[in-house]
């Protein structure tokens, strides 16, 4: 888990993005992360793919051509343990 992964998880948790209908695409996620902590689209994609493999986030419904993501129960537990 990196600091950027943590930022993404906390954002999804705080915004209650917890199902496929509420899922956010990468552009929406990057818009909501502070400029100082923001990374490129491709970097965010790689981090989200890794967190998907680890079970922290899941893929939601497709938004046009963009994949969307939402926080899973494991991600919620991780965020709760950090607070």
Write down all domains in the chain, each with its CATH number in brackets.
Answer: 3-82 (1.10.10.10)
- What's the pTM? 0.92
Pairing of strands 68-71, 57-59: antiparallel
| Burial of 71 from C-beta contacts in 10 A (0-12 / 13-18 / 19+) | buried
**What integer pLDDT is reported at residue 36 of this predicted model?**
86
Nearest to 48 by CA among 39, 19, 73: 39
Element (H, E) at 24: strand 24-25
Band of residue 60 on the pLDDT scale cut at 50, 70, 90: very high
**Cβ-based burial of 66 (10 A; exposed 0-12, middle 13-18, buried ≥19):** exposed
Given a cut of 90, is residue 73 above it in pLDDT?
A: yes
């Amino acid at each position: 888990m990196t600091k950027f992964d943590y930022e993404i998880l906390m954002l999804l948790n705080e915004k209650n993005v917890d199902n496929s209908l509420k899922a956010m695409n990468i552009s929406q996620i990057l818009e909501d992360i502070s400029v100082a902590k923001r990374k490129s689209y491709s970097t965010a994609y790689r981090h989200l793919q890794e967190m998907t493999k680890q079970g922290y986030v899941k893929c939601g419904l497709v938004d046009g051509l963009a994949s969307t993501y939402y926080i899973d129960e494991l991600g919620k537990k991780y965020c709760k343990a950090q607070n």
